[in-house]
Chain A
Amino acid sequence: MSEANHKDAPKAVVFENVSLRFDEQVVLDDLSFELEHGATKVLLGVAGSGKTTILKLALGLLRPDSGRIFVLEHEVTAMREKDLFELRRRIGMVFQESALFDSQSVENNVAFRLLEEKVPEAEIQKRVTEALRFVELEHTLKLFPSELSGGMRRRVAIARAIISNPEVMLYDSPTAGLDPVTSTTIVELLVKQRDVYKTSALLVTHRLQDAFTMATHYFSREQNKMLPVPHGWDWDSKTSFMVLKDGKAIFEGDAAAIANSDSEYIREYLSP
């Protein structure tokens, strides 16, 4: 087990000079960034700019050509696949196409981690119902993934990822290809996860609007819904933005900074 090499407060995710190429194509070029505990970092960039790759690297599903990656103070890049399985149980990932096990029911999909850990059946049932209630899909327990809509599948994938209360969440375009109403439901879930469970997260998205919603809304436990942060509130959404271009981070900052950025590329990216 390796220790993180930084003196400051421990970080949830750290990338240090990470480079990766696929054949001749540069995917990441000397990329460094940090994600603090409890914070959310939104990764923006055109298709093919290496956003998904960052999530897969953080999980150790891919290995970089050079550089070091730390997740929850473990050096992922120095760990054997065998030891990574243990660490991955503390991380939740929502894949772009949901990646649900299509030959298993929603119940077994969500319970997968708990079944693997041989948790007693009564507790599995309780936690599966709880996780499905979180994404408002308790009624789909016995259905199969093929019987669900795209948005519902995404929500089941979120339930499957959060069931073991992960400390870090990795979302790969959770709202891609969904209608605005369903997208908002999903963003609300991410905000809820951030504000209620204080989970650190990396969020890949193409939908800027969702990213701004994340930064400008909070989850009200009293009303059990997401609300816009009122003016004059001293409130930190802990949500920052990172824009990737040609394997490098060309911008890092909060919502206000990105909205006022004078970089031509970012202005063009932001313009509807």
Chain B
Amino acid sequence: MAFSLTEYAKGNVLAVQEYSTLSWKAVAALFSQPRYLGDILQQMDIIGVGSLQIVVFTGFFTGAVLALQSANSLGRFGALSFTGQLVSMSMVRELGPVLTSLMVAGRNASGMASELGSMQVTEQIDAMRALGTDPIRKLITPRLTATMFMLFFLTILSDLVGLTGGSAIALLLLRLDLNEYWTSAWQTLRYADVFMGLIKPVLFGFIIATVGCYYGMSAKGGTQGVGRATTQAVVVASVFILAIDLFVTRLLMVLLGPL
């Protein structure tokens, strides 16, 4: 069949429409019965507790390399003592939320897409509907709630571990005073920074869960289709996170005033 630009455009518009409807229904299901508390807790365990290890590692090494790189630049101006401040600002405002979200996207958006995708291609989703249960309510809403909630706390953890990573470098390689490092890291943070750093994971959590579930629910064509859905979910969620990050950062800068 010849490539048709109209068909291509229509396909994309349809995908956006389906994604929006799915997201809307998943959110709306939160506000009416039945709610699946058991499933939410189970997902919190899978997404939150299950991601602890990678989030801790990512946070630690990011904070450490951040300290190393910034010390390199700061040293030239004789401003090495600002290392703590720089690590803390970058971690809390930007790298903590973004890198944690990217790691969780890699781990959980793919997990959701492959799990729901397999259920879709083996008619388990249809079977659930046939048994009188809404799959959006039962499968997607718990994943969405759990990801948004857990990513918030994972980000806090990642920020803290990142600062610790930075302090390790500051102490061992830069020979800085730890007390000074932590004091400057702490004092530089304002409410606006923390607010920005903590609103982001909630938004990114929404993106990870809805994108992962959308690709899973729309998987077609057997195991190959599930594989494709999984890859697409991770790629699209990651790009979405980075793009939305830019806009949210700019928007919050305007709303919260110059920082």
Q: Which of B118, B131, B132 has the most CB of A within 10 A?
A: B131
B123 in the interface (beta carbon within 8 A): yes
A160 pairs with B126, CB closer than 8 A: no
Per-position contact with B for A111-154: 1 when CB-CB < 8 Å, else 0?
01100100000000000000000000000000000000000000
Which residue of the partner chain A has the closest CB to B25? A81
Report the Cα distance A101→B118, complex, angstroms.
10
Does residue B129 face the partner (Cβ distance < 8 Å to A)?
Answer: yes
Q: Is B130 a contact partner of A91 (Cβ separation < 8 A)?
A: yes
Interface residues as binary, A83-107 with B (CB distance below 8 Å gives 1, 0 otherwise): 0011011010101110111100000
Does A101 contact B124, Cβ atoms closer than 8 Å? yes
A270 within 8 A of B: no
A13 CB, min distance to chain B CBs, angstroms: 15
Chain B 121-171 residues near chain A, CB threshold 8 A: 122-124, 126-134
Cα A82 to Cα B130 in complex, Å, equals 12
A99 touches B132 (CB 8 A): no
Q: Is A59 an interface residue (CB 8 A)?
A: yes
What are the residues of chain A within 8 A of B128 when measuring CB–CB?
A: 101
B249 to chain A, nearest CB (A): 38
Contact B127 A99 (CB under 8 A): yes
Pairwise interchain contact A113-B123, C-beta atoms closer than 8 A: no
- Known pairs A93-B127, A95-B127; A102 contacts B133 (CB<8 A): no
Please state if A99 and B126 are interface contacts (CB–CB under 8 Å): yes
Determine the chain A residues whose CB is within 8 A of the CB of B133 once the complex forms: 85, 112, 116
Q: In the complex, which of the residues A88, A100, A116 contacts B129, with contact meaning CB atoms closer than 8 Å? A: A88
A61 to B120, CA, bound (A): 13
Q: Would you call A95 and B131 a contact (CB within 8 A)?
A: no
Contacting residues, chain B, for A56 (C-beta < 8 A): 126
Residues of A within 8 A of B119 (CB): 101
Interface residues on B, range: 10 to 19
Pairwise interchain contact A113-B132, C-beta atoms closer than 8 A:
yes
With a cutoff of 8 Å between Cβ atoms, the chain B residues found around residue A88 in the complex are 129-132
Check B131–A116 contact: CB distance below 8 A.
yes
Contact B131–A97 (Cβ < 8 Å): no
> Which residues of A lie under 8 Å from residue B118 when comparing CB positions?
102
A112 touches B126 (CB 8 A): no
Structural contact, B123 and A95, CB atoms closer than 8 A: yes
In the complex, which residues of chain B have a beta carbon less than 8 angstroms from the beta carbon of A116?
Answer: 34, 131-133
A93-B132 in contact (CB<8A)? no
Distance A99 CA – B127 CA, assembled complex (angstroms): 6
- Nearest residue (CB) in B for A60 is B129
- A119 CB to nearest B CB, Å: 13
Per-position 1/0 for A59-76, Cβ under 8 A of B: 101000000000000000
Query: Given the complex, which residues of A lie within 8 Å of B124, measured CB to CB?
Result: 99-102
Which residues of A (49-63) have their CB < 8 Å from a CB of B? 56, 59, 61
Could you show 20 A-B contacts with beta carbons less than 8 Å apart? A61-B129, A61-B130, A81-B134, A82-B134, A85-B132, A85-B133, A86-B132, A88-B129, A95-B123, A97-B122, A99-B122, A99-B123, A99-B124, A99-B127, A101-B119, A101-B124, A102-B122, A112-B133, A116-B131, A116-B133
Interface on B for A, CB 8 Å cutoff?
Answer: 34, 118-119, 122-124, 126-134
Nearest first, the 3 A-B pairs at minimum CB distance are: A89-B132, A99-B127, A99-B123
Additional 18 contacts, C-beta under 8 A, given A99-B124, A101-B127: A61-B126, A82-B134, A85-B132, A85-B133, A86-B132, A88-B130, A88-B131, A88-B132, A93-B127, A93-B130, A95-B126, A95-B130, A97-B123, A99-B123, A112-B131, A116-B34, A116-B131, A116-B133
